[in-house]
Chain A
Amino acid sequence: MKKKFHQDVDTVSEYSQLSAWKSASTSDRLNVVYGFAVVLVVAVSYVLGAFGWLPHDPEAMDLDTMMADPFTNGYLLGTDFMGRDILTRLILGIQAYFLPSVLAVFIALGLGSLLGVLSGYWRRRFETPVTYFSNLIDSLPRMVLMLLVIAAFRPSIYTIMVVFGITTAPTIAMLVKGKVMMLRERNFIESAVALGLSPGVIIFKHILWFNCRALLLIQATIGMAEAVLLETSLSYLGFGVQEPTPSWGNMVQAGANYLLQGNFWPSTAPAIAIMLTVLGFHLLGDGLNNILEGRQNR
């Protein structure tokens, strides 16, 4: 017979036999579905861009149809101020941020959970240095640090995203640390220690994998959203991917020059793409948070 150990009344729902998905509310499920759809579209577009399966040549200028509205002359989303197909450039623009953002998120998660586990599991030894490190990074406004690094090294987008990952790590470290400290008090970790399991197994399997993966997944979605916005900000400041290579940020930026003349579309199309994507990541994070983390704690 399968019998589960109950610690106290508050945590009983954690052992509910209903799957998290079934007990979730409709809006949470909608959010997650929309978020996953966005992730899917971005991933598929990335693959399309990587293999060059594009509807048009991204740099071919059609000087007869500049700033065309959607659905003109076979341009599904219209053309920009140089007569280049917007849809093609949107798909290809994902190349500019996708891999760097994933890299940034991995660095943030890796460094964050390392610091969090160190300071939460071996508090006496590591709490002070980790707190100092976190405070150090938090004391530097991220954008100022970015500009500092840019000023010094004129780096590629990858280096910038590495910096972004490092600056995001303290937030994740705080969350992981809180979780680890909470878990250390729990009986199953204590018994794992008493049974002589190695710290590696306890940390990686029982703490990080079984109890922190939801938290890390949610932080990953937020990190992706921030990375997309960061790329646009940097492009606006002139430090991002340079024309004619498309990125969503430099498309909005280049189109914005024509915005005050009343030509909205070349800048608005990528802005909408950014908005839908960032919104998707945020809603995915929110929905996952409610489904996997939030509701069970209440």
Chain B
Amino acid sequence: MKRATWMAAASVLSQELATTAALLLGVTLVAFLILYLAPGDPFAALLGGRNLSGAERDAAFEALGIPTTWYGQYLTWIAHVLQGDFGISMRSGQPVVREIFSSGIKTLFLTVGSLIVTLAIAVPVAAYSAMQPSSLRARAGTLLVYLFSALPTFWLGYMLIYFFTRKLGLFPILSATDETQEYGWLYALLPVVLLGLCNGTLSEIVRYLREEIARVMNEEYVRTARAKGASTWRHAYKEALLLPVSQIIAAKMPFVLGGAIIVEQVFNWPGLGRVTWQAALDRDYPVIMAITLLAAIVVRIGSFLHRTVYVAVNPRALQQ
């Protein structure tokens, strides 16, 4: 590549990093303010529910070196985070980082796997119904996809568990942490498939992909390709498939994370979703803050990947 291209790439990258930093600051600030404005006192909870009077509290804060203003506390949190210290979970007493890391890996498996499942279903259905919108098969496929994304996730999950454990007797009702069984791998796949099937976004993805594919297929360069007998897909796949799919992955990342909360609950999957839920129940402030930050980072990574694909497909975007 030419030097100018590298320079352009570097400037785009630095711009992206600046945006990301601003957004992460904003997101954590919002989360912090919500928690700060909440009724109840986390400090009192730490003391086992003992309420201190205002003066006692201020004295205790000063002795412990805790700032009393909200911005002071927020800045302290940021300073700690920048040193890699996310604090200690108020519930388990474990360092937050360790707790989130071990469960995050499991959720990563779940979400990435489910995205693959979603795309494996959505892309064919969308492509088929974009090419032949009035064919019976396209309509049946679309309807089926809509049906699945209209079902309550946890109900379908219970039905799947019932079907596989009681009807087929493939495995007992246990969590994924169970010792290996003959069909244990299948049990690990169930939540992945479930999350891929009905995280509620499947219908949205099909709708979006269908629109995009239909639009691109009507573009003049595709028509030209078809007219001269060249492969239309070879000319169209970048704009009709690569871009929308990366866009979807970027845009749907947060929703898949949200869906994981339900699916993990149903399958006793010891992942981040369960940790989030537990933290919300217990008001485990350090854990909630860390999860918010992590989720925002994941979302930004997704959007950055989309940007990269966009530039790779359309290098002119760098020159602007």
Residue numbers of A with Cβ under 8 A of B are 25, 27, 132, 135-136, 138-144, 146-153, 222, 225-226, 229, 232-233, 236-237, 249, 252-253, 256, 259-260, 262, 267-268, 271, 274-279, 282-283, 286, 294, 298
Contact = CB atoms under 8 A, between A and B. Distances in A.
Given A149-B34, A152-B35, 4 more contacts: A144-B276, A144-B295, A153-B34, A153-B38
Nearest to B282: A151
B258 A142 contact: yes
Contacts, number: 155
Contacts of A25: 134
A260 B23 contact: no
Contact of A229 (B22, B35, B200): B200
Interface string B276-308: 110111010000100110011001100000000
B151 A274 contact: yes
Contact of A252 (B26, B37, B154, B288): B154
B258 A260 contact: no
Interface string B5-48: 00000000000000100111011001100110111000000000
A146 B277 CA distance: 10
Given A237-B262, A275-B147, A135 B154 contact: no
A146 B154 CA distance: 18
B170 interface: no
Nearest to A141: B254
Size band of the interface chain B makes with A: 35 or more
13 contacts: A132-B23, A138-B299, A139-B254, A139-B300, A143-B258, A143-B261, A144-B258, A144-B276, A153-B39, A236-B262, A260-B158, A277-B150, A282-B149
B208 to A, nearest CB: 11
Contact of B154 (A144, A225, A256, A283): A256
Contacts of A262: 162, 166
B187 to A, nearest CB: 15
B258 A140 contact: no
Nearest to A239: B280
B153 A233 contact: yes
A253 B254 contact: no
A274 B299 contact: no
A25, A140, A226, most chain B CB atoms within 10 A: A140
A268 B299 CA distance: 35
Contacts of B300: 139
A256 B276 contact: no
B218 to A, nearest CB: 6
Contacts of B204: 222
